[in-house]
Chain A
Amino acid sequence: MSPGARLTPSQERDLVVATEGGDPEACHRLVEAFLPEISALARRFGYGSAVGRAELVQEGVAGLLFAARRYDTSLGTPFWGYASFWVRKSMQELVAELTGPVALSDRAVRALAAVRAARRDHLQAHGADPTTDELARATGLSRAQVEDLQATERVPRSLQEPAAGDGRSADTVGDGLPDPAAEQAYDVVLDAIEMRRVRDLTEQLSDRERAVIRAHFGLDEPAQTLTRIGGSLGVTAERVRQIEAGALAKLRAALARPAVLPGGGA
């Protein structure tokens, strides 16, 4: 089933715009609408790859949400036609990141061999896996390098490897079936993205400033007059106006902070 069969073009467009605007419900609905396409791409990608399907779906969801932030509705392109490139690219980059360094250089292969040897030695000596710091000390590599090399060794099996010789392609095996692990993965990505949204500017305000802005501008609540807001806060309307002006100035300053240059200039 194509995404178009589930959403009308205007529904799809409105969902994308609301997602880009920070509406969490729209974000969830958009991901749900395109999860079958993302899962199908992950299945094609995961076949023969060292990367697990749940991780690929996770990356695919991140790619979809990035596409929503970049998609120009005025161009008239169907969203999936635009987003599928970014979904695929996200998955490609995950695979490259996790498998790349081994394929890239002899030096990385030697470093990986050193990490494996250090782990084996540690296991023999202590009967337990070494920590990343212990591996870094033993090999002379940085902690980040050890972490990167360890990542190349993660070889989670994909949830559904096509059974050899069963006559079905990797594209069709399991199509339409629930994928609990992948669903769980997508929740993790959504939570992370919502948490790191930087555009919720009101987080930079005090509770009182935030209350004034929300009440006066009608953000997630009915708009109120300055007098009425003042009544509920126990201050005058003029004081509320001052609080609002101070809050706006604070947000303005946060958005236009110049670089402090060497020598103290800006």
Chain B
Amino acid sequence: MVSGSPALRHNALVYDSEDEYVGRAVPFLREGLEAGSGAVVAATRPGLAVLREALGGDAGAVTFVDVGAAYTRPARTLAAYHSVYADELGRHRSVRAVADVQFGPDPREWDLWTGYEAVFNRSFAHLPAWVLCTYAGAHLPDPVREGVWRTHPEVVSAGGWRCSDRFDDPDRVLRDVTAVPPALPALRSVPSDGGVEGVREHLARELADERVPAAAALDLLLAVTEVAANAVEHGGGIARVRAGRVDGRFVCEVVDHGTGFDDPGAGYLAPRAGVGTGLWIARQLTWQLDLFRAPEGFTVRLRL
């Protein structure tokens, strides 16, 4: 690829040794630097130390990002990376990044992060960025390894660069790994009169009654503002609002009168011309956002 290419290139490096990690990552970054690209290393601190040392005098031109605490929820991780890439693209015509991904030990989380890798292809599709996601192959569980090949169009490993014959449509991967939201009959009705401002006021009282911390309460109020505004503008108006605690978290549902839409990437697409930002904001501010058609209408469920 020529640096400065207009669209995202999202690849994976599956390495068997630290030498291989360094041997692939450093020339990749140096080639970009020589062509005028920005360069980012996103890793935990040992990874940063290894690459900083290996880059030697070139390290000064590279942005090092500690991702030790970045992989909390996919939407928040995407927003954090977007901020880093936006910053680089303010100074360079393109950017190359080596990024460590933190799947964690719990198999029940792996689908979530495979979904993140899938939607990454859509989220940053408009950015002139070449991102090399790095995976230590020695202890990579089979489902995660399979996910790497399903979500990266090209994968580099001991055998060299290869187009992935298992790369799958990001939306299909997202659908496969997203569970159907369960019904939550315990939620109670909240008045939905007064439009967006009315819903916000009613929910503010519910949040105060539930003793939700102020910062989190504001997050939810901002998120629900976006969802309620969408319901008014695109969904024929707000039909009903419900709220309550589920598994210790404050949950709120907004149901509208419209037919809804079916886009598993909704809210994951980084801001750009022609793409609405309401659901991007709502996803960043909540633990989970589910959008689904229910018997009572198109529903957006916000879980704080």
Q: Which residues of A contact B (CB under 8 A)?
A: 10, 13-14, 16-18, 20-23, 26, 62, 66, 69-70, 72-75, 77, 82, 85-86, 90, 93-94, 96-97, 100-101, 104-105, 107-108, 111, 142, 144-145, 148, 197, 199-202, 213-214, 216-220, 223, 241, 248, 251-252, 255-262, 265-266
Contacts and interface: CB of A to CB of B under 8 A. Distances in A.
With most chain B CB atoms within 10 A of its CB, the pick from A74, A111, A223, A251 is A74
B147 interface: no
A266 B52 contact: no
Contacts of B284: 255
A74 B106 CA distance: 13
Interface string B63-84: 0000011011100000000100
Given A14-B248, A199-B215, A93 B221 contact: no
Residue from A86, A217, A241 having most chain B Cβ neighbours under 10 A: A217
Identify whether the interface residues of B are mostly helix, strand, loop, or mixed.
helix
A119 to B, nearest CB: 19
Contacts of A10: 248
Interface of B: 4, 18, 44-46, 49-50, 52-54, 56-57, 59-60, 68-69, 71-73, 82, 85-86, 89-90, 92-94, 104-106, 108-109, 126-128, 197, 200-201, 204-205, 207-208, 212-219, 221-222, 225-226, 246-249, 270-273, 277, 280-281, 284-285, 287, 304
20 contacts: A18-B213, A21-B213, A21-B216, A69-B72, A74-B247, A100-B49, A144-B59, A145-B59, A148-B49, A199-B285, A200-B215, A201-B219, A201-B222, A213-B218, A218-B204, A248-B225, A252-B226, A255-B280, A258-B272, A262-B4
A10 B246 CA distance: 12
Given A85-B104, A214-B214, A257-B86, 15 more contacts: A13-B248, A14-B248, A22-B214, A22-B215, A73-B248, A96-B45, A111-B53, A144-B52, A197-B215, A252-B222, A252-B226, A252-B281, A256-B277, A259-B86, A262-B4
B97 to A, nearest CB: 13
A200 B71 CA distance: 19
B52 A145 contact: yes
Nearest to A62: B69
A218 B208 contact: yes
